[in-house]
Amino acid sequence: MRCDVVVVGTELLLGQIVDTNSSWIGEQLAAVGINSLMQVKVGDNKERVIAAITQRLADADAIVVCGGLGPTHDDLTREAIADVMGVPLELHDDIAAVIEAMFAARQRRMPINNLKQAEVPVGARVIAQTRGTAPGLICPVGNKVIYAVPGVPHEMRDMMERVIIPDLIARSGETAVIASRVLRTWGDSESGLNERLQPLINELDRSPNTTLAFLASGWEGIKVRLTAKAKTKDAVDVLLDNWEQRVRQIVGDIVFGIDDDNMESVVLAMLRQRGLTLALAESVTGGLVSGRLTQVAGASDVFRGAIVSYASDVKFGLLQVTPGPVVSESAATQMARGAKDLLGADIGLALTGVAGPEQQDGEAVGTLCVAVVLADGEAHAKTFALPGQREQMRQMSVISSLDMLRRLLA
């Protein structure tokens, strides 16, 4: 069973509203094993809405049309669906009565154009409205079906859960579960990962129930998404467990987490498990690392604090860095040791570098020096050459430094 999605609204194309409805609908369809292979956005134009519905219906068994069921002149979904069905619209007095009662209950006058929401294509079934004035529609087209739901998220979700998902399951004649697992990686490019995993990808191409995809996420790393389909959640989990281990065997420790993990939550969890505390000294990142760490609830039990030693004289005076060039592994190591001692932490982490636009201390833009001083006093330092403009370099410095700490804690 395949159900595609068409969302209607010029405001979505203009970027005035972010389309979260499509992703939510896709997630609900996947959870019950309904394939959804195409999602389309279209503006408030009747001919283009008709074209979008017709094109999707040619490929899919069902489509969900979201939006365009309001009372105003630019709400054209009913008319478009009626044209696709080849039938007229008819006014349903019972729906009109419900809408009138809703306005009366709010002690408001009902504008006459709200009766437009009581018009239904002949042969369609109505999904009763429980949260707004617009009813939904179930519209048969031959052996296929169009579902129409309001664009207001809580109204749409109610109709999807209450009526549409059960109807799709009944039409499909089978139950299945589709689930995904995202492996979060840092340390290789998308093309590099693709090359390393190509034999596994070739094997998956012959598998009827599991797929692999890459999601490049900038300074959040590369995500490797595994998606599996089976009759039960337990069976899906077995598939995902198997393929996850296969991926990990190939790419190794560049996988730092799964699903909702991020580098900072993983590092904090590792510190917590080991009973260790952390102090930071930041120069080039200006507090970005500590900001990311403190976004994680409960960070205070392991994160002691940070010293943003942006000016060189702060490095020399407060952190006892030897006067001289400050973009070096030696300076980073002294910064890390100084932060560790000043803040009474087990581990010190420091970053210094050149974000641009000009080089510093003879070092090129993109140079990042990171140092970690461990609980036993052992120091580790590394120099990175990072790409990008100023903000990209600074953000990549955050995940690069935390990844270095993660590997030392492993």
Task: Give the model's confidence band at 47: pLDDT under 50 very low, under 70 low, under 90 confident, else very high.
Answer: very high
Mean pLDDT, rounded, of the chain: 93
Domain boundaries, the chain: 3-172, 177-258, 263-409
Cβ(92)–Cβ(126) below 8 Å:
yes
Of 92, 94, 132, 140, whose CA–CA distance to 116 is shortest? 92
Q: What is the pLDDT of residues 149-170, one digit of tens each?
A: 999 999 999 999 999 999 998 9
Sort strands 89-91 and 62-66 into parallel, antiparallel or unpaired.
unpaired
- pLDDT of 374 > 90? The answer is yes
Residues 6+ apart with CB under 8 A from 115: 71, 91, 96, 99
* Range list of β-strands (E), 86-199: 89-91, 119-121, 125-127, 136-141, 144-149, 177-185
Identify the CATH assignment for 177-258 out of 3.40.50.10860, 3.30.70.2860, 2.60.40.10, 3.30.1360.10: 3.30.70.2860
pLDDT of residue 99: 84
Instruction: Enumerate the β-bridge partners of residue 145.
Output: 62, 140
Instruction: Enumerate the β-bridge partners of residue 255.
Output: 185
- For domain 3-172, give the fold: Molybdenum Cofactor Biosythetic Enzyme; Chain A (3.40.980)
For helices 165-172 and 21-31, the axis angle rounded to 10 degrees is: 40
- pLDDT of 409 > 90? The answer is yes
Sort strands 62-66 and 39-42 into parallel, antiparallel or unpaired.
unpaired
Distance CA 376, CA 370 (A): 18
pLDDT of residue 229: 87
- Across 58-81, average pLDDT: 93
Q: Which two tokens mark 80? A: 């478009």
- Across 49-69, average pLDDT: 96
Compute the CA torsion angle 32, 33, 38, 42 (nearest 10 deg): -20
pLDDT of residue 129: 87
Q: What is the pLDDT of residues 292-348, one digit of tens each?
A: 999 999 999 999 999 999 999 999 999 999 999 999 999 999 999 999 999 999 999
pLDDT of residue 240: 97
* Chain centroid, CA 133 distance in Å: 31
pLDDT of residue 290: 97
More confident residue, 73 or 250: 250
CATH architecture of 263-409: Alpha-Beta Complex (3.90)
Task: Give the model's confidence band at 101: pLDDT under 50 very low, under 70 low, under 90 confident, else very high.
Answer: confident
- Across 4-13, average pLDDT: 96
| Exposure on the CB side of residue 306, measured as CA atoms within 13 A | 22
pLDDT of residue 156: 95
- Across 279-294, average pLDDT: 97
- Across 214-238, average pLDDT: 90
